[in-house]
């Protein structure tokens, strides 16, 4: 089963309601591809290469990806990325706890490491033209997301730190990697 763990960085002004992402642009998308066990990054001009990978994956894994990353990437994709199976770890946690938990808190609790920066820093690096720092930051977020995904699969739970206290959230991961009988139907680029 081919799993693509991904994250995007953006720039722009966030609105509200159905137009929340109208003025938000993707600056970079980074992935880990389980088929090649490798990391890669994509600027806007590289997106056709990313679509080829997405269209041949069995599941996309992200953190807040259903609510943020996929809708923004869909602005650039000629089809509908919501047709690809998605495992949004934040959604899984929120469904159990009834509230959101920051990726940094889960990374620290589960993996013992913190994120390497923030979205605000990523925006600044983009404005400065410092693509290397932006890429490194985004790739690190993908590495963290993959780490917590792998941990959840193996242990059926994740840990997070909240007000200095380590807590656990049990997750039902039994269906995360069940092979779907239906292939992706939005292969609009002819790959």
Could you give the percent of the chain with pLDDT greater than 70? 90
Q: Quick one: pLDDT at residue 61? A: 98
Q: Quick one: pLDDT at residue 122? A: 86
Rg (CA), the chain: 16
Would you say how long the chain is, in residues? 191
pLDDT, tens digit, for every residue of 131-159? 999 999 999 999 999 999 999 999 999 99
Domains of the chain, residue spans:
3-170
* Range 3-170 classified under CATH 3.40.50.150: no
pLDDT, tens digit, for every residue of 60-79? 999 999 999 999 999 999 99
As a whole number of Å, the end-to-end CA separation of the chain is 18
pTM of the model: 0.89
pLDDT, tens digit, for every residue of 85-94? 999 999 999 9
Name the residue among 116, 99, 178, 103 with its Cα closest to residue 146.
Answer: 103
Q: Quick one: pLDDT at residue 150? A: 98
Angle at which helices 131-155 and 89-97 pack, to 10 degrees?
A: 50
């Amino acid at each position: 089963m081919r799993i693509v763990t991904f994250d995007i960085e953006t720039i722009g002004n966030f609105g509200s309601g159905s137009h929340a992402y109208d003025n938000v642009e993707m600056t970079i998308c980074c992935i880990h591809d389980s088929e090649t066990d490798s990391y890669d990054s994509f600027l806007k001009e590289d997106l056709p290469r990313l679509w080829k990978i997405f269209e041949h994956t069995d599941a996309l894994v992200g953190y807040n990806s259903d609510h943020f990353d996929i809708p923004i990437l869909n602005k650039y994709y000629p089809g509908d990325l919501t047709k690809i199976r998605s495992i949004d770890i934040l959604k899984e946690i929120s469904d159990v706890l009834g509230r959101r938990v920051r990726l940094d808190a889960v990374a620290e609790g589960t993996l013992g490491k913190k994120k390497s920066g923030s979205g605000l820093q990523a925006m600044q690096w983009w404005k400065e033209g410092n693509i290397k720092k932006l890429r490194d930051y985004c790739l690190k977020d993908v590495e963290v997301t993959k780490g917590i995904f792998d941990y959840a699969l193996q242990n059926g739970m994740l840990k997070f730190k909240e007000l200095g206290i380590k807590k656990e959230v049990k997750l039902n991961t039994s269906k995360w990697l069940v092979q779907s009988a239906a292939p992706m139907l939005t292969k609009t680029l002819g790959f």
